[in-house]
A = this chain, B = another copy of it.
Amino acid sequence: MIQAAIISTGDELTTGRTTDTNAGFIADRLLELGIDVVAVLTVGDRPEHLRWAWSEALRLARVVIATGGLGPTADDLTTETVAALLGRNLVHDEQVAERIRELFRLFNRPMPENNMKQAAFPEGAVIVPNGLGTAPGYRVAVGSPDDRRHLVVLPGVPREMKPMLTDAVLPWLAELTGAARVGHRTFQTFGISESGLDEIVAGIPGEGRWSFRANFPEVSVRVVVRGDDVDRRLDAFGREVYARLGQYVYGEGDATMERVVGDLLAARRVAVGFAESCTGGLVAHRLTNVPGCSSYYRGAVNAYANEVKERVLGVPADLLAARGAVSEEVAGAMAEGARRVLGADIAVGVTGVAGPDGGTAEKPVGTVCFGLAAAYAPTVTRRYRLWGNREWVKLLSSQIALDWVRRHLLGVPLLEIGRGGAAPAPAPAKSESVAPG
Contact = CB atoms under 8 A, between A and B. Distances in A.
A283 B354 CA distance: 18
Contacts of A414: none
Contact of A14 (B38, B356, B434): B38
B434 A157 contact: yes
A432 B157 contact: yes
Contacts of A41: 39-42
A31 B52 contact: no
Contact of A436 (B27, B103, B283): B103
Nearest to A78: B432
A19 B16 contact: no
Interface string A26-46: 111101000011111111101
Nearest to A29: B16
A12 interface: yes
A195 interface: no
Closest 5 pairs (CB-CB, A-B):
A280-B288, A281-B284, A107-B437, A71-B432, A135-B433
A429 B12 contact: yes
A42 B23 contact: yes
A357 interface: yes
Interface of A: 10, 12-21, 23-29, 31, 36-44, 46, 49, 52-53, 56, 60, 68-73, 76, 103-104, 106-109, 111, 118, 130, 132-135, 155-157, 160, 211, 213, 276, 278-285, 287-289, 291-294, 297-305, 307-308, 311-312, 341-343, 354-358, 390-391, 394, 428-437
A25 B285 CA distance: 28
Given A16-B24, A107-B435, A298-B308, 19 more contacts: A14-B38, A15-B31, A15-B37, A16-B28, A17-B211, A18-B430, A19-B21, A42-B42, A56-B56, A70-B432, A109-B436, A132-B434, A133-B434, A281-B302, A284-B302, A288-B354, A291-B356, A292-B357, A308-B341
14 contacts: A15-B28, A15-B31, A41-B41, A52-B60, A76-B432, A133-B432, A160-B433, A281-B281, A281-B285, A281-B300, A288-B354, A289-B394, A300-B301, A312-B342
A39 B37 contact: no
B308 A299 contact: yes
A60 to B, nearest CB: 7
Nearest to A282: B285
A288 B281 contact: yes
Nearest to A220: B17
Given A107-B437, A429-B17, A38 B43 contact: yes
